[in-house]
Amino acid sequence: MNLLIGGSWQGAKDYLDEIRAMGHEVVFLQQERDPVPVDPSWVEGVIGNGFFLYHPINDYVNLKYIQVISAGLDRVPVDEVRRRGITLKNARGVYSGPMSEHAVWAVLTLYRQKAYFMENQAKHVWNKLRMIPELGGKTVCVLGCGSVGTACAERFGGMGCRVIGVNRTPRENAAFERIYSFSEMANALNMADIVVVTLPLHDETRGLVNAERFAQMKEGAILVNIARGPLVDTAALLDALDARLGDTESTGRPGDTESTGRLGGAALDVFETEPLPADSPLWDRPDVLITPHNSFMGEGNAERLNALIMKNLAQMEK
């Protein structure tokens, strides 16, 4: 197979000789937005990430294989890929561990009031907080029950949480007490103390977490988004958070039991616009934890990704 390999696969150069020994021809393109050094008709397979954001897939008439290094497929024209019967592989499972650990860390960071204690530490102030929420016993609703969602369910379950899920196609999964369909989402959201978004981004899910969904959430719930920014309506999120801060008895800290607002806080790793603009009101909120699309980072990613790509290639015809 004639392979075009992009530099977004950072370990690629260490494997080029092995790939050629498997019987594949290889051209390496460091920057995927750059002009391709071969005729598009030569290319039968592409390994990369955002290659088709810059190169029309219809130019690649002999394409039969695509491997992306991300878990999401929103950078690939999936409808055209399926129409043409092109084999499409993602990085399923590579980032599930780090992302699920990030979700648990984010909730604990908000629950255990890290910002408050770090501020006091900087000021050398000894101040206790009495009413600290506990993760154990909380109900966690995971929107999207694929590999990342399942890893989240396993880790929250290991912390003593009750875990339910929402998926386009409900199915049996031992990590979840029950998986609800999209049509049953309101019931699931109403039970949840924590809502973790791990859904893929496509037309059906864009803006799915909107004002209607926030109104269905349990009062004081924490939202965690580690999937894609456009899944959550930012304006509706701010409105839901403002309803909480509008309570004059509230300190504005997540988990404040004196607050009676709708949403108790949010941990956001992804945003509708990235990087998050400096003037976004999200930056300065005490009830929001912001990380720069970093949840997928983990020390074992490269090893897992390399192994997955090579395994998938070995299963393809030359």
**Neighbouring-strand partners of residue 153:** none
The torsion angles phi and psi of 191, rounded to 5 degrees, stand at -90, -15
Find tokens 């003593």 and name the residue.
Answer: 160
What is the number of residues in the chain? 318
CA distance 8 to 52: 13
Q: Which residues contact 77 (CB under 8 A, 6 or more apart)?
A: 52, 57
Catalytic residues: 228, 274, 293
Q: What SS3 state is found at 264? A: strand
On the 0-12 / 13-18 / 19+ scale of CB atoms within 10 A, 128 is exposed
Helix and strand counts by DSSP (H, E) for the chain: 10, 12
Q: What SS3 state is found at 251? A: coil
CA distance 162 to 106: 18
CA distance 271 to 280: 11
Q: What SS3 state is found at 256? A: coil
CA distance 84 to 195: 37
